[in-house]
A and B are shown apart, each in its own frame.
Chain A
Amino acid sequence: MELVSPGIGLIFWMTIVFALLIFILGKYAWRPIMKALKERDEFIEESLTAADRAKKEMKELKFSNEQLLKEAQEERDAILREGRKIKDSIIEEAREKANEEADNIVENAKERIENEKKSAMIDLKNQIADMAITVAEKILERELSDPSKQKDYIEKLIDDTHLN
């Protein structure tokens, strides 16, 4: 019977001690602990979401970076190709032009040479003719003053011509 009959004193002290315990622990232990736990939970959750977001952003960034890199590479390739093409065409064109120019120059030169030659010939001919006339004049002037000598000269001329 003594097992199931509660003692008044024990009930009294238990009530006081337990009520005090609830109060003290509630105020100085459970409240700060629950607050700290809650704050930490929120902090962890926030950090996790932030990390997740950062991860996603990074993924996007990486993706866009790759895309950018790829594009840049393609562009570079395209530019290079274009440049090479342009270079080739420029070289080709230049060569053609140069050839043409050279041809032209040669042609011109030839033409000019021909012309010069012709004019030179004409000049020469004229000069020779002049000279011949002058020579002939002078010869004729001198030789014809003396008939014997004229004769000698003529003979000599004929000899020369003959010899020529």
Chain B
Amino acid sequence: MNLRPLAAKLGITIILLIVGVLTMSFIQDAGHGQKEEPTHTENAQDESWQTEVEKEEYNAGKKIIEHITDSHDWHILDYKDSEGHKHHVSIPLPVILYHDGKFHTFMSDKLWHGHVYKGFKLATEGPDKGKVVKVIEENLINPEIITKDEGEVDHLPLDLSITKNVLAIIISSILLIIIFVSIANRYKRREKQAPKGLQSLLEPLIVFLRDDVAKDSIGEKYERYMPYLLTLFFFIFFNNLFGLVPIFPGGANVTGNIAVTGVMAFFTFLITTFSGNKNYWQHIFNAPGVPWWLKFPVPLMPVIELIGMFTKPFVLMVRLFANITAGHIIILGFISLIFVFGNIYIGLGYGVSIVSIMFSLFMSLLELLVAFIQAYVFTLLSALYFGLASEEHH
């Protein structure tokens, strides 16, 4: 092992960092110096912006959670105009509520800035923060959220809104359909010919899933599971990649949402259970090769196997959710570092940005790998479970 180049690179990096921090502090100092002159209005504005930022408490944890959780609007960016007013740029999304036997449908911009619309409001704090809640009718002038203990009616309506994640799922699904149906047409048109363009980009993945995932794990009956496995893989893979794109229509933390991964794991569970043959159920309730006293009078093995039926998809759900969420949190954490340090001293923020950008770039590259690996692992394990459920006696 030759550690010399590595050490040299590390040294160069550290020197660059120090130089960067010093330069940034110097530039900032210069700005401060210029600020004293009244003729430089632009700099004065910069200063006012800086002071305002310094006044605001930057809560990294809150920001990160806001980014990775679902929401009723698609937040694009915030900016301040020359007068220092803060503007939010968001895409309003449809809110669909079912409450007291009635459907309520409206766009989420009606609820922005704490507005109450049709008796609903977006909770800004508490355990239901970010959710649409019902407010007490009499209290409309000064709306208060009914908490579960006080109110007789459930203050949480059934929320079937098209949220950010739902929209992201729909967008990526439409994209998947467009891509793969066009590829399928290409296959029909160019029968028995070498793949071309997008087809040749995705064909290795399809063939890999067929030969190395499905065939190896399931065996001869792999063909009937292929549509599910391919959909699963490409859905996870595409959404993982979209999650890494910071601007619309990317950036939604779809595969890092436990509801999404849960639904996919549930599909795997359903297919596993329904494709279970006699052999599979025998393994669960009366595992061969296990001493009888493990099954009777206390059915230890059957209980363990039965629990195993549910832990397998549960683990699938948690693994994907945790991996993707963790990746997002780490990247957002590095980005937040810039603002946390910027709040202390703006030059420090610029200095730290070099390190932060490098680390989040590194993490993003790592996440590209994770995006593939997690999609692959979810698909492979699903295929293995199908294989276990449908394999013949060996």
Chain A: residues with CB nearer than 8 A to chain B?
1-15, 17-22, 24-26, 28-34, 36-37, 39-40, 43
Contacts and interface: CB of A to CB of B under 8 A. Distances in A.
A1 B159 contact: no
Contact of B259 (A11, A22, A32, A43): A11
Interface stretch (B31-39, B260-268, B335-343): B260-268
Given A25-B177, A32-B187, A2 B65 contact: yes
B163 interface: yes
Contact of B177 (A7, A11, A21): A21
Given A1-B127, A26-B231, A30-B230, A7 B259 contact: yes
Contacts of A2: 65, 69, 129-130
Closest 8 CB pairs of A and B: A26-B227, A6-B259, A29-B180, A36-B187, A10-B259, A32-B184, A13-B166, A14-B263
15 contacts: A3-B258, A4-B258, A9-B158, A9-B161, A10-B70, A14-B169, A18-B267, A20-B173, A24-B177, A25-B181, A29-B177, A29-B183, A29-B184, A31-B227, A37-B203
Interface string B219-234: 0000100111011000
A25 B207 CA distance: 16
A21 B176 contact: yes
A10 B70 CA distance: 9
A43 to B, nearest CB: 5
Contacts of B262: 6, 11
Nearest to B258: A6
B146 interface: no
A37 B210 contact: yes
Given A4-B321, A24-B177, A25-B230, 11 more contacts: A1-B127, A2-B69, A10-B70, A11-B259, A21-B177, A29-B180, A31-B184, A33-B183, A34-B226, A36-B188, A37-B207
Contacts of B231: 18, 21-22, 25-26, 30
A29 B165 CA distance: 24
A33 B169 contact: no
B159 A17 contact: no
A6 B226 CA distance: 28
Contact of A25 (B65, B170, B180, B223): B180
A21 B321 CA distance: 20
A17 B184 contact: no
Contacts of A9: 96, 158-161, 163, 166
Contacts of A20: 173
B260 A10 contact: yes
Interface in B228-245: 228, 230-231, 235
A60 B70 CA distance: 71
Contact of B69 (A3, A26, A30): A3
B330 interface: no
B162 interface: yes
Contacts of B260: 10, 14
B166 A18 contact: no
Contacts of A37: 187, 203, 206-207, 210
Interface in B195-211: 203, 206-207, 210
Contacts of B130: 2
Contact of A39 (B129, B162, B191, B226): B191
